[in-house]
Structure 1
């Protein structure tokens, strides 16, 4: 287990005590499918507060039987705040859905028709409007190689390259 996985695991173990604001996104290139799977893991209480303010609603996400009733809000929110450019071309992110797991919500997207990606430029401004200490960790895996970046209010975009 590498140190970044240990730290991220610790962050989520302490989730109910989280005096900091963090979300983790994973991008995994699936060569057989020529696609990039995108999975966002966000603390429900932070995301609920952000969506309530952004859309002037009063959600109680943990009280939902499933998240399909909020998928249109989540899809709209992600489309405005999460962007991926691969090898110099901005890619369309297709929203697949979301699900609850204890005190986090998983949100799923996918990028289709991706061939041998070398450079990912990622912009992630999720929850920056609500929390000035928000950190968004992004793990990108291509051909078994993992690279991680951290985006903050002051650094909203960064890139990773693979050979």
Structure 2
């Protein structure tokens, strides 16, 4: 029952009718590459509002053909609002780029040189500075196992353990 409510909520959220503010982040450990791929999915209108306020710009992301011209803003914003510790050690999260998909923006990052991770400490305060009801779902995948956490204003950091 809870799972079906979760699915229905996600359908409503990503159908363009988002009654609340949410982002979804996925961390996927790739054993063969010894890296963690990071993908953020955010609503363009919410993220645009956040960037406009934080960087005192007037973006219209929906009118853009691509996001290369604003990648430096996105990179800086993510650097200030998203971080990962793996097994107690702060890791560099490298920004790779972003792309538009209808009413959402995908932002891509990667963490390199990761060997056999067990504990991820994830800080995700994306859009907490703009929306009091912002909720950030984070799915972490390791060896086919998925663990999900929900970060909200006041609780922007949590640990995910695979042991």
> CA RMSD, aligned part only?
1.5
- Give the TM-score taking structure 1 as reference length: 0.95
Give the C-alpha shift of residue 8 in structure 1: 5.8
Q: Distance in 2 between matches of 1:11 and 1:43?
A: 13
Which residues of structure 1 form unaligned runs of 5+? none
> CA 1:86–1:55 in 2, change beyond 3 Å: closer, same or farther?
same
Offset from partner CA, 1:96-116 (integer Å, 9 cap, x none): 000000000000000000000
Match of 1:145 in 2: 145
Distance 2:133 2:86 in 1: 28
Query: Structure 1: which 4+ aligned runs deviate by more than 4 Å?
Result: none
Alignment of 1:9-158 (within 5 A): 9-14=10-15, 16-158=16-158
Deviation at 1:7, TM superposition (A): 4.5
Secondary structure class of the residue paired with 1:127: coil
Task: Structure 2 unaligned segments of length 5 or more: list them.
Answer: none
Deviations 1:122-155 (A, max 9, x none): 0011101100000000000000000000000021
Give SS of 1:113's match.
Answer: coil
Using structure 2 for the length normalisation, give the TM-score: 0.95
| Aligned-partner SS, 2:53 | helix
